[in-house]
Amino acid sequence: MLKEKIADRLLSSAKSIGTDRSRCLRMRYNRNSCSECTGMCRPGAISIDEDVHIISENCSECMLCVSACPADCLDMQSFDFYSVLARLRRIKNLVPVPVLGCNIKNDLQAHVKTPCLGFLSEEHILSLSVFLDTGLHINMTECGRCKNSFIVDVIEGRVKNIKAKNLNLPGNISLINDGKDLGYGDAGYDRRGFFSTVKNLTFLQATEFFERDDTAWASRSYSDKKLPAKREFLNRILAYKKSNNSGLLENYYFTVHASEDCDNCFACVGMCPSGALKIEAAGEGRKLSFSSALCNGCSLCRNFCFRGALRIEKGFSGVNPFEYVSLHISTNDRNTGEY
């Protein structure tokens, strides 16, 4: 029991939210009107003017702003979701069903505890479903009595949205509100297994399966490109499943089109925060290329285009979303099908 508490503490030590103004869409382009974080913040603890501010005395640490932010401007400091996945995967065959819960109560039954479950975006839930193919219970039995009880409707809504898309996912994610429905069982670690788990939780590269390039997460320059975590989760899922991906591509990926008004000024390349657009050689000239796997649909490129030549549509139907493809110039009306 003591060993479990020590391991949980390593995963749930982060309770604060950090900000990186260079990632905020409104800081990158002052005509952008993104309000995802402020729209989610029930206590009104977020202010965006000349900077992104979190009023600490108002913040309830519900983490809904973190899950809503499309660009990782807001992040849970010192918290690593890959470690959560790694530990749940480690025990998935040792217990009736892995259980995820928050750290609001010491005696809450969960194999892994995190800060408030409001951090669970659709992309997090999809990752849990795919990589925990044996299923998962999310212990929300105390959520209704918590100061952040409003997260219940939000998370339930996200699960319903995923199910409505018929994505044919392998794992069953169950939100448990009644303790009688919770399938918790002690995993039990031998000495060697426990210290191996603690060692893995100490590093961001929790397992070779979830290896990533952490240098991308240190970015604080407007010129640097950074793939948002939620987009990275989707790409991991896409590469892991390798089949029946049409639902994911249709619902969570994007395609950029350029009209004949595009004059290859490439201003959109500099504005793109994630590197989805880049300049490539084309004979003696240059061309604009696009990768759907790196696009989070933020629309900064479209909004910033001086000639209004770009449009974004939801869904990807090309051959490989991980490859860069030349943006074909079309005569389609640039305002048609904007997303």
Q: What is the pLDDT of residue 221?
A: 61
**What pLDDT score does 297 carry?**
94
Average pLDDT over residues 327-339: 45
> What would the mean pLDDT of 276-302 be, rounded to a whole number?
92
Q: Which two tokens stand for residue 288?
A: 């604009």
> What is the rounded average pLDDT of the residues 136-161?
97
pTM for this entry: 0.84
Chain-centroid distance, C-alpha 21: 18
Helix residue ranges, H only, the chain? 2-12, 25-28, 36-40, 64-68, 81-91, 122-131, 151-164, 191-202, 229-241, 246-252, 267-271, 300-304
Q: What is the pLDDT of residue 139?
A: 98
DSSP per residue, 140-181 = -TTGGGSTTTTHHHHHHHHHHHHHHTT---SS-EEEE-SGGG
Q: Rounded distance, CA 212 to CA 287, Å?
A: 30
pLDDT in tens, 96-117: 999 999 998 889 999 999 999 9
Which residues have C-beta within 8 Å of that of residue 192, sequence separation ≥ 6?
Answer: none
User: pLDDT, tens digit, for every residue of 212-240?
Assistant: 444 434 445 666 889 999 999 999 999 98
Domains of the chain: 2-13+79-210 (no CATH), 18-65 (no CATH), 245-330 (3.30.70.20)
Which of 137-151, 178-192, 304-318 has the lowest average pLDDT?
Answer: 178-192
Say if CB 25 and CB 70 are below 8 A apart: yes
Distance, in Å, from the CA atom of 35 to the CA atom of 13, rounded to the nearest integer, reads: 28
